[in-house]
């Protein structure tokens, strides 16, 4: 069947459709290409806003000269006397040495970095590694004025330093809120890569809270950061500084798409202390910590793999005085959850020494709160490991339960308890089969079985007999000064 339409009527209908289509097209939004163009970030205003606050930092070191010009130094002369039996050619054999003036120390360029102005009266923030070892620090402003800077203080743990120049009316940066920074957000860096001043690069935030150090959760970006960018600012789209460019991941020394910046809130806390006293005071409780694995968390009833496993407690430390024990899992500090081990040193380190804090530990299947007085951090000390001594050992024992796990055990002697500072436990004399697979070895001391403390062989056997053999059996043991968990999985 064919529909017939008169000519005029058809032409009128066609024109009406064309007009309707044209009006509809006029109401459509701009093309996707234009929309995308408008969405691209424009950094020009940010450069104008922050650029005057970014400085170039050059460092100089002095190289000591051995003696007067043309005269060999004493070490070289001594080398010739000892190995050749005669003085160096051209050096008199006898007679008093002439009293000649020492050659002046030689000044050599050491490196180039970046920094940014914290305050209008001349305080500048940069990286500690930029100024480390420098005998002289020179700061060049974007207007080409150059100043000799005074080092206010540097903190190697966080890689933050503050220097001071004698100038006023300087354009200081605006500090942003790191907590509002989002992964995927555009950011910009200004610095002096390879000595090229006022270089601008941009990218996005790749990750936050990236663990690469004890005290700092870094901001990871794909902003091009190269040698010389160190100490420069990382800037958000509001023109605020959110970080200090500090590290790169590189196999060649150049940019590979992974850069790390110190969060500005962490850096500001350090800078405030450096400006106030020239040093940073950090808290400590004196415990050595490790990660809590998923298997260990499930086997001891913690459930979620979280917290910091206490492997050792320093003698006389705040932790020991408060009653923290090896094997404890610290889950909270002053009410703040410890999700991973690195959270604990950051929270404790940011606590003022002398403060009384609350620590929640998971021990033997239940949580308890412990009050501890924070002390000031000290330089790292080498770990002391208990030495084996020629002492009469208790007769080895291998009950049926222990034997099924591949263990031969013995009670600790009084001398061993005194040396290890333990009230009890059982010593592993040999470990095979399931025990060996769990990583246990001769000399380890078992402190607890399935959250039950064991002081001797009798208690060990009783605790092992009560354990659910259908699940891995957790053993808290000590090796030297370190405590850790092992999971025994007997073969079926």
Domain at 454, CATH number: 2.30.42.10
Which of 250, 277, 304 marks a domain boundary?
A: 277
User: Do the domain assignments include residue 70?
Assistant: no
Contact 490, 434 (CB under 8 A): yes
Q: Give pLDDT tens digits for 322-381.
A: 999 988 999 999 999 999 888 898 899 889 899 999 999 999 889 999 999 999 986 444
Provide the pLDDT for residue 1.
42
Same domain, 343 and 372: yes
User: Do the domain assignments include residue 456?
Assistant: yes
Provide the pLDDT for residue 128.
92
Same domain, 271 and 287: no
Same domain, 321 and 354: yes
Provide the pLDDT for residue 482.
79
Structure tokens at 86: 């005669």
Same domain, 272 and 322: no
Q: Give pLDDT tens digits for 278-290.
A: 888 889 999 988 8
Q: Which of 17-21, 24-28, 103-107, 253-257 has the highest mean pLDDT?
A: 253-257
Helix ranges, 115-197 (H): 128-131
pLDDT of residue 461 exceeding 90: no
Distances (CA, A) of 487 to 198, 222, 407, 469, 473: 56, 41, 13, 12, 5
Provide the pLDDT for residue 134.
86
Which of 317, 341, 376 marks a domain boundary?
A: 376
Give residue 241's domain range: 174-277
How far apart (Å, rounded) are the C-alpha atoms in residues 158 and 161?
A: 9
Provide the pLDDT for residue 433.
81
CB-side neighbour CA atoms (13 Å) of 409 = 30
pLDDT of residue 391 exceeding 60: no
Q: Give pLDDT tens digits for 197-253.
A: 788 999 999 999 887 655 678 999 999 888 888 899 999 999 999 999 987 766 655
User: Do the domain assignments include residue 122?
Assistant: no
How much is the mean pLDDT over the chain?
Answer: 80
Provide the pLDDT for residue 318.
93
Catalytic one of 121, 129, 334, 399? 129
Structure tokens at 397: 């024992």
3 state DSSP class of 421: coil
Kindly report the CATH number assigned to the domain that includes residue 198: 2.40.10.10
Detail the DSSP E strand segments found in 185-268. Answer: 186-191, 199-211, 217-221, 233-235, 240-248, 259-263
Detail the DSSP E strand segments found in 183-328. Answer: 186-191, 199-211, 217-221, 233-235, 240-248, 259-263, 283-284, 287-290, 308-313
Same domain, 443 and 477: yes
Query: Does 159 participate in catalysis according to the annotation?
Result: yes
How many residues in total does the chain contain?
A: 492
3 state DSSP class of 266: helix
Query: Does 34 participate in catalysis according to the annotation?
Result: no
Higher pLDDT, 115 or 299: 115
Quick one: what percent of the chain has pLDDT higher than 90?
A: 36
Catalytic one of 53, 114, 155, 159? 159
Same domain, 363 and 442: no
Same domain, 321 and 351: yes
387 pLDDT tier (thresholds 50, 70, 90): very low
Q: Give pLDDT tens digits for 227-239.
A: 888 899 999 999 9
Average pLDDT over residues 48-53: 94
Nearest in space to 359 (alpha carbons), one of 322, 326, 327: 322
Provide the pLDDT for residue 137.
93
What burial letters (b/e) apply to 386-417, b meaning 16+ CB within 10 Å? eeeeeeeebeebbbebbebbbbbbbbbeeebb
How far apart (Å, rounded) are the C-alpha atoms in residues 101 and 458?
A: 80
478 pLDDT tier (thresholds 50, 70, 90): confident
Same domain, 259 and 323: no
User: Do the domain assignments include residue 44?
Assistant: no
Contact 167, 120 (CB under 8 A): no
Nearest in space to 140 (alpha carbons), one of 105, 173, 177, 115: 115
Catalytic one of 114, 192, 206, 230? 230
CB-side neighbour CA atoms (13 Å) of 246 = 27
How far apart (Å, rounded) are the C-alpha atoms in residues 283 and 350?
A: 6
Contact 219, 177 (CB under 8 A): no
How far apart (Å, rounded) are the C-alpha atoms in residues 329 and 347?
A: 16
User: Do the domain assignments include residue 382?
Assistant: no
User: Do the domain assignments include residue 42?
Assistant: no
How far apart (Å, rounded) are the C-alpha atoms in residues 327 and 312?
A: 8
Same domain, 354 and 439: no
User: Do the domain assignments include residue 290?
Assistant: yes
Contact 65, 104 (CB under 8 A): yes
Higher pLDDT, 321 or 192: 321
Contact 310, 289 (CB under 8 A): yes
Looking at the structure of the chain, the number of domains it has is 3
Burial label, 140 (beta-carbon count in 10 A; 0-12, 13-18, 19+): middle
Query: Does 143 participate in catalysis according to the annotation?
Result: no
User: Do the domain assignments include residue 129?
Assistant: no
What burial letters (b/e) apply to 246-271, b meaning 16+ CB within 10 Å? bbbeeeeeebeebbbbbbbebbbbbb
Give the position of tokens 């080398």: 79
Distances (CA, A) of 408 to 20, 61, 426, 435, 436: 92, 61, 10, 10, 12
3 state DSSP class of 161: strand
Average pLDDT over residues 260-271: 92
Same domain, 405 and 479: yes
Contact 214, 342 (CB under 8 A): yes
Q: Which of 3-7, 8-12, 244-248, 383-387 has the lowest mean pLDDT?
A: 383-387
pLDDT of residue 18 exceeding 80: no
Same domain, 322 and 356: yes
pLDDT of residue 469 exceeding 90: no
How far apart (Å, rounded) are the C-alpha atoms in residues 88 and 77?
A: 6
Which of 323, 341, 376 marks a domain boundary?
A: 376
Same domain, 269 and 311: no
Contact 120, 172 (CB under 8 A): yes
186 pLDDT tier (thresholds 50, 70, 90): very high
pLDDT of residue 84 exceeding 60: no
3 state DSSP class of 466: helix
């Amino acid at each position: 069947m064919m529909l017939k339409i008169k000519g005029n009527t058809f032409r009128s209908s066609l024109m009406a459709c064309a007009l309707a289509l044209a009006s509809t097209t006029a109401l459509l939004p701009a093309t996707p290409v234009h929309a995308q163009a408008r969405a691209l970030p424009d950094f020009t205003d940010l450069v104008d806003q922050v650029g005057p606050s970014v400085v170039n930092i050059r460092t100089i070191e002095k190289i000591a000269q051995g003696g007067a010009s043309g005269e060999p130094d004493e070490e070289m002369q001594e080398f010739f006397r000892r190995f050749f039996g005669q003085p160096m050619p051209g050096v008199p054999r006898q007679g008093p040495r002439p009293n000649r003036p020492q050659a002046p120390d030689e000044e050599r360029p050491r490196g180039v970095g970046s920094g940014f102005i914290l305050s209008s009266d001349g305080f500048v923030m940069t990286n500690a590694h930029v100024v480390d070892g420098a005998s002289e620090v020179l700061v060049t402003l974007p207007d080409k004025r150059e100043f000799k800077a005074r080092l206010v203080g540097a903190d190697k743990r966080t890689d933050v330093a503050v220097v001071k120049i004698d100038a006023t009316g300087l354009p200081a940066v605006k500090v942003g809120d790191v907590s509002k920074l989002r992964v995927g957000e555009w950011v910009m860096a200004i610095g002096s890569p390879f000595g090229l001043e006022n270089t601008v690069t941009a990218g996005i935030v790749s990750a936050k809270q990236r663990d690469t150090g004890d005290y700092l959760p870094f901001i990871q970006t794909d902003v091009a950061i190269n040698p010389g960018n160190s100490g420069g600012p990382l800037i958000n789209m509001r023109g605020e500084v959110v970080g200090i460019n500090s590290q790169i991941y590189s196999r060649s020394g150049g940019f590979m798409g992974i850069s790390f910046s110190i969060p500005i809130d962490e850096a500001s806390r350090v800078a405030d202390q450096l400006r106030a006293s020239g040093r940073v005071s950090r808290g400590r409780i004196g415990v050595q910590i490790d990660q809590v694995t998923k298997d260990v968390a499930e086997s001891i009833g913690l459930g979620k793999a979280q917290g910091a496993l206490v492997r050792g407690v320093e003698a006389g430390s705040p932790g020991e005085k408060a009653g923290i024990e090896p094997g404890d899992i610290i889950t909270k500090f002053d009410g703040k959850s410890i999700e991973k081990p690195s959270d604990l040193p950051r929270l404790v380190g940011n606590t003022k020494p002398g403060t009384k804090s609350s620590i929640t530990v998971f021990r033997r299947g239940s949580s308890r709160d412990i009050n501890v007085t924070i002390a000031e951090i000290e330089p790292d000390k080498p770990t002391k490991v208990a030495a084996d001594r020629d002492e009469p050992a208790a007769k080895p024992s291998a009950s049926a339960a222990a034997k099924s796990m591949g263990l031969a055990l013995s009670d600790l002697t009084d001398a061993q308890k005194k040396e290890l500072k333990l009230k009890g436990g059982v010593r592993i004399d040999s470990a095979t089969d399931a025990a060996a697979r769990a990583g246990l070895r001769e000399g380890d001391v078992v402190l607890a079985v399935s959250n039950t403390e064991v002081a001797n062989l009798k208690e060990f056997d009783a605790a092992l007999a009560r354990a659910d053999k259908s699940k891995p059996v957790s053993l808290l043991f000590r090796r030297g000064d370190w405590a850790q968990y092992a999971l025994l999985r007997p073969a079926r």
